Amino acid sequence: MGYNLCMQDELDPLQPHCPRWNKALVAICTKCCEGAGLPLAETLKEQLKAEYPDQSVKICKSGCLGMCPEKRVSVVMTSPTQPAQAYLADPTDHAVLDCIKHKIKDMN
């Protein structure tokens, strides 16, 4: 099925896995702010396909992460070598895409 287990112990119900997105994982809230995070997530995903054809960056559409204030959406980024970092983004500001892409490039 294309799964790549780092370590395999068939008795362990929760097995470690080495995902293809080894550069970054970005979760964007698409529920709050009247769903304004959805176009942000879709645009970012489309733009990053060309930059990371190896699928080393994964963009996930998320439900509410519990921290979105009015007119902002949560963006959480992490990588195998860095802890998760949460941001509150204005989904109507076109500079947000460039900021996220810049932070992804700085990861690892």
User: For each of the chain's 108 residues, which pLDDT tens digit applies?
Assistant: 444 445 556 778 888 877 878 899 999 999 999 999 999 999 999 999 999 999 899 999 999 999 999 899 999 999 988 899 999 999 999 899 999 999 999 986
Burial (CB count within 10 angstroms: exposed 0-12, middle 13-18, buried 19+), residue 54? exposed
66 within a domain of the structure (yes/no): yes
16 within a domain of the structure (yes/no): no
- Any alpha helices (H) in 11-106, and if so which ranges? 32-35, 37-51, 95-106
65 within a domain of the structure (yes/no): yes
44 within a domain of the structure (yes/no): yes
- pTM of the model as a whole: 0.83
pLDDT at 18: 79
103: CB partners within 8 A, 6+ apart: 77, 85
The CATH code of the domain that includes 28 is 3.40.30
User: Among 86, 85, 99, 88, which residue's Cα sits nearest to residue 37?
Assistant: 88
Which residues form the domain of 83? 24-106
Burial (CB count within 10 angstroms: exposed 0-12, middle 13-18, buried 19+), residue 78? middle
pLDDT at 81: 86
12 within a domain of the structure (yes/no): no
17 within a domain of the structure (yes/no): no
Number of domains in the chain: 1
pLDDT at 75: 97
pLDDT at 36: 93
Q: Which SS3 state, helix, strand or coil, does residue 103 take?
A: helix
User: Among 93, 72, 94, 82, which residue's Cα sits nearest to residue 28?
Assistant: 72
